[in-house]
Amino acid sequence: MNKITYGLILGGILGIFDGLTAWFTPEARPQLMGIVLGSTFKGLLAGVLIGVFARKVHSLALGVLFGLCVGLLFAFFIAHMQGKYYLEIMLPGGLVGLIVGYATQKYGDSSDAAPSRT
Amino acid sequence: MNWLSDEAIARLRTAGAEPALAGTRYRLIERIASGGMGSVYLAEDATLGRRVAIKILDVPDSSGELAARLQREAHILASLEHPGIVPVHGAGTLADGRVFYAMKFVEGERLDRFSERASTLPGRLRIFQRICDTVAFAHTRGVLHRDLKPENIMTGPFGEVLVMDWGVAKILPAKQISTPAGMPHDQVRNHPGTLAMDSSRTAPKTAHGAVLGTPGYMAPEQARGDVEHLDERADIYSLGAILQFLVVPSARGTQTTPRALIAIARKAMDANPAARYASASELGQDIARYLDGLPVLAYPENVFQRIARWAARYRMAIVLVLTYLVVRALLIFWFRR
């Protein structure tokens, strides 16, 4: 599986999972569907960006760092829209980005990748 | 009364034993190795201005058998054009009747010495894979090495791995030549480099019952002198012995050897040739599977071993996901307080 598709699928799956964890917060349950949809979209978008980066730059360390930054940035936007829960949203969001960044570099197929720039 | 010192006499004796390369384009520098058939010298190619290694018979061969064997070795090497086989630059006969051939001078270390300080287990296994590739190539050209051992493998400073000393190689009958995956048998047999097609180069043959090889690295059928029925599986036995040398703790320090690797070496060294790997490529592929964290043919795993291998393969990913789950759980707990 190429790196972009890998990032897309993994980002989407982790996004769904990340959104579903809102169920454990009673006051967030009424908006669960919206949270899951938003989180999934965020995961898909971050996954594609991380996948494109992994395709261009063949470096595990840079891939992980980029994933972390993208995850934190997207999570910050979400938290900022709510105006609260920065830590609760950004910490797991950053970790999801980090996981996607690691996995795309490590396990994504680089056969169709651009020349290495490391 | 001595007119010359002992040292001078010894030097004269050495000089007298050295081959005279007059009439060739090579200039002798020093002897670098000696074998059963001849010696290998470092020389300079005066025409091209580069250093070469020259293998020369120790004495003029009156019977012609050793000369024929050395010429045959040169023919075999010349026909095996592969990065893992030292290229031959030329061959001929010296003024005193000694046969020689010149080849690339390989600067490096023998595998047995290199492995004493060699890196990691994966590093040694990658070298072993290269040996398997080279031997597999020779087999597809109809050549059996018959004396594979760490002393006959050279490792270069830039990652080169060269299989040396093809002096006792056997030319396989055409019907025994292995075919690489996807290549028709006829195509292999008709390849210009396939030696089995050219019977003039197969002489001299090793007599049935003659034992050639090195104990410990020699297949049982080879040790019995069953020359007529030897096939590539004899080399696969030797490869298994080399693998064992590279990975077994007694020879390689204190680390324990993974069971899968022991199983691969045992399968390659099975007393029954039919139970060994069918080809050197298949053996190399099993090593590749091990390096990739995949199951190997030689070692059927139970469920727990499969899980352990999977966990080891995806260790970092598992750690990251667990970290995420722990952070999530802590946040939920903290948020509920």
The pLDDT tens digits for B242-281 are: 999 998 865 555 568 888 999 999 999 999 999 999 999 9
Residues 6+ apart with CB under 8 A from B308: none
The answer to whether B311 and B303 have CB atoms below 8 angstroms apart is no
Instruction: Give chain A positions within 8 Å (CB) of B321.
Output: 99
Q: What does the pLDDT average to over B105-117?
A: 85
Please write the tens of the pLDDT for every residue from A51-99. 999 999 999 999 999 999 999 999 999 889 888 788 888 998 999 999 9
Residue with tokens 């693998």: B243
Which of A5-14, B46-55, B108-117, B200-209 comes out lowest in average pLDDT? Answer: B200-209
Question: What is the pLDDT, as a whole number, of residue B332?
Answer: 81
Which of A10-14, A57-61, B35-39 comes out lowest in average pLDDT? Answer: B35-39
B317 near A CB under 8 A: yes
Question: What is the pLDDT, as a whole number, of residue B167?
Answer: 82
d(CA B164, CA B151): 9
d(CA B80, CA B37): 21
SS3 B179: coil
Shortest CA distance from B334: residue in chain A: A88
Q: Characterize the bridge pairing of strands B26-34 and B88-93.
A: unpaired
Instruction: State the number of CA atoms in the 13 A half-sphere of B29 facing the CB.
Output: 15
Residue with tokens 């075919």: B179
CA-closest candidate to residue B94, choices B25, B24, B35, B38: B24
- Global confidence as pTM: 0.73
Question: What is the pLDDT, as a whole number, of residue B210?
Answer: 57
> Residue A110 corresponds to which tokens in the numbers above?
């680089």
Q: How far is A108 from chain B (nearest CA, A)?
A: 13
SS3 A44: helix
- Chain A interface test: which of B320, B325, B332 (most A C-beta within 10 Å): B320
Q: In what order do the strands lie in the sheet with B50-57?
A: B26-34, B38-45, B50-57, B99-104, B88-93
Cβ of A95 and B331 within 8 Å? no
Nearest to A95 among B316, B327, B336 (CB): B327
d(CA B203, CA B72): 7
Please write the tens of the pLDDT for every residue from B181-211. 555 555 555 555 555 544 444 445 555 555 5
Beta strands, E only, chain B: 26-34, 38-45, 50-57, 88-93, 99-104, 109-110, 143-144, 153-155, 161-163, 170-171
Cβ of A102 and B327 within 8 Å? no
Q: What does the pLDDT average to over B80-103?
A: 89
CATH superfamily of B109-291: Transferase(Phosphotransferase) domain 1 (1.10.510.10)
A82 near B CB under 8 A: no
Domains of chain B, by residue range, sit at 6-104, 109-291, 305-336
In 10 A of CB B195, how many CB atoms? 24
Percent of chain B with pLDDT over 70: 80
Domains of chain A, by residue range, sit at 3-107
B322 near A CB under 8 A: no
Q: What does the pLDDT average to over A2-6?
A: 89
Question: What is the pLDDT, as a whole number, of residue B199?
Answer: 45
Question: What is the pLDDT, as a whole number, of residue A72?
Answer: 94
The CATH number, out of the four listed (3.50.30.50, 3.40.50.300, 3.30.200.20, 3.40.190.80), of the domain defined by the range B6-104: 3.30.200.20
Please write the tens of the pLDDT for every residue from B228-246. 778 899 999 999 999 999 9
Q: Averaging pLDDT over each range in A37-41, B94-98, B157-161, which range is the top one?
A: A37-41
B147 annotated active-site: yes
* Inter-chain CB pairs, A–B, below 8 Å: 34
